Amino acid sequence: MDVLSDAVAAMRTGRPHSSRTVNSGSWGFRFPPSKGAGFHVMVQGAAWLRPPGDGEPVELRPGDVVLLAHGTGHGLAGRPDTPLVDAVQAPDGSWPTPPDRAPARADETLLLCGAYQISRARAHPLFTELPPYVHIPARAGAHPRLRAAVDLLGAELADPQPGSDALVPALLDTLLVLMLRTWWLTERPDRTTGWSGALSDPAVTAALRAIHADPARSWTVEDLGAEGGLSRAAFARRFTTLVGRPPLAYLTWWRMTTAGRLLRTDDTPLRSVAQRAGYASEFAFAKAFKREYGVAPGQYRRASTRNGAVPTAVGEAVASTPEPSPPGNPR
């Protein structure tokens, strides 16, 4: 898999939710902070995004897409100064309309709103480097794949058909990837540095693809540089500058991230997990894993299976304990 696909697969958990919301008259919602990620798509009318903190309101027009990858609290209203009421998410992921909502009228606003469950235990820098909100404005002829996904999602939510229960989650996952791809490759203001530059650089992208396709291989910096047609020194400088960590350090981080996901999500034998992480023996893998996570692999698996928490020391598990920082984001 390529790095963007792997980053999404490593963080996505559970089932995404979405709803179709119609508002008119004077309306405004306050969305509380969440552990996941949310999005809003303007289909009809106009609205204002009220960013967290002291950020200036942002006008949203038909076709605009907003992604809040960090689950930050925010507001959404028909006007920039409209008072906000708390939005309480229903069990199915929808955002109920307040009971005193005005009757439907010609100036009504139609939105598609949704939420993703995200594991931030080993957040990939493709996510952690995102701003508090990503605004992708609609422009004629721009982002046709993103527009197509939005149209399909809107149609399924407006008029469910047999199979919609399977289609909607798949379309939501598609939408997440397309929002991220669109931001990193076309909408980010500076597309020459950081992960935007890494995804646009042929040599670095080739090396990242190689690492993600076969993390167990005994890669050397020279091997990875050859994937992109660069000398060892030139490749190492370019990779470190864009990714934020040297090639072999990123390889180790990704191996441990992959191992942690395997231990959390299935019953793959420890020997197989060690091999897939590039270690010839369970002992060497266990030593490296404990150095990275602070606990042995078996204990990590048991704690994750028992209550979904991140184990921190023998006999205890604390869900909110931070794990090692992702590359490019040292604490």
Quote the pLDDT of residue 322.
35
Confidence band of 108 (pLDDT split at 50, 70, 90): confident
Whole-number percent of the chain with pLDDT over 70: 86
Quote the pLDDT of residue 266.
82
Confidence band of 304 (pLDDT split at 50, 70, 90): confident
Class (C level, CATH) for 3-187: mainly beta
Q: Average of pLDDT values for 187-195?
A: 87
The chain-wide mean pLDDT, for the chain, equals 85
Task: Answer yes or no: are the C-beta atoms of 65 and 41 closer than 8 Å.
Answer: yes
Quote the pLDDT of residue 107.
72
**Whether residue 307 has pLDDT greater than 80:** no
Instruction: Name the 3-class secondary structure at 37.
Output: strand
What are 112-139's pLDDT values in tens digits? 999 998 888 788 999 999 999 999 999 9
**Whether residue 61 has pLDDT greater than 70:** yes
All CATH 2.60.120.280 domain ranges of the chain, comma separated, are 3-187
User: To which H or E segment does residue 116 belong?
Assistant: strand 109-118
Token pair for residue 296? 């042995």
Whole-number percent of the chain with pLDDT over 90: 62
Quote the pLDDT of residue 92.
55
The C-alpha atoms of residue 286 and residue 270 are separated, in whole angstroms, by 9
Sign of CA dihedral 43, 48, 51, 56: positive
Quote the pLDDT of residue 90.
66
Instruction: Name the 3-class secondary structure at 59.
Output: strand
Task: Answer yes or no: are the C-beta atoms of 70 and 114 closer than 8 Å.
Answer: no
The C-alpha atoms of residue 271 and residue 157 are separated, in whole angstroms, by 45
Q: Average of pLDDT values for 173-195?
A: 91
| Ordered alpha helix ranges (H), 120-159 | 125-128, 144-158
Q: Average of pLDDT values for 283-301?
A: 93
Q: Average of pLDDT values for 16-25?
A: 85
**Whether residue 68 has pLDDT greater than 70:** yes
Confidence band of 265 (pLDDT split at 50, 70, 90): confident
Phi, psi of 53 (to 5 degrees): 75, -140
Q: Average of pLDDT values for 48-74?
A: 91
What are 242-261's pLDDT values in tens digits? 999 999 999 999 999 999 98
Q: Which residues on adjacent β-strands are paired with residue 114?
A: 18, 39
Token pair for residue 323? 């794990």
What are 23-48's pLDDT values in tens digits? 888 899 999 888 889 999 999 999 99
Quote the pLDDT of residue 248.
97
Quote the pLDDT of residue 93.
53
Instruction: Name the 3-class secondary structure at 146.
Output: helix
Question: What CATH number should be reported for the domain whose range is 201-317?
Answer: 1.10.10.60
- Higher local confidence (pLDDT), 155 or 309: 155
**Whether residue 99 has pLDDT greater than 50:** no
The C-alpha atoms of residue 22 and residue 83 are separated, in whole angstroms, by 18
Q: Average of pLDDT values for 181-205?
A: 91
Task: Answer yes or no: are the C-beta atoms of 326 and 124 closer than 8 Å.
Answer: yes
Quote the pLDDT of residue 326.
37
Q: Average of pLDDT values for 64-76?
A: 94
All CATH 1.10.10.60 domain ranges of the chain, comma separated, are 201-317
- Higher local confidence (pLDDT), 210 or 325: 210
Quote the pLDDT of residue 62.
93
The C-alpha atoms of residue 246 and residue 327 are separated, in whole angstroms, by 9
Q: Average of pLDDT values for 299-321?
A: 55
Quote the pLDDT of residue 121.
79
**Whether residue 3 has pLDDT greater than 60:** yes
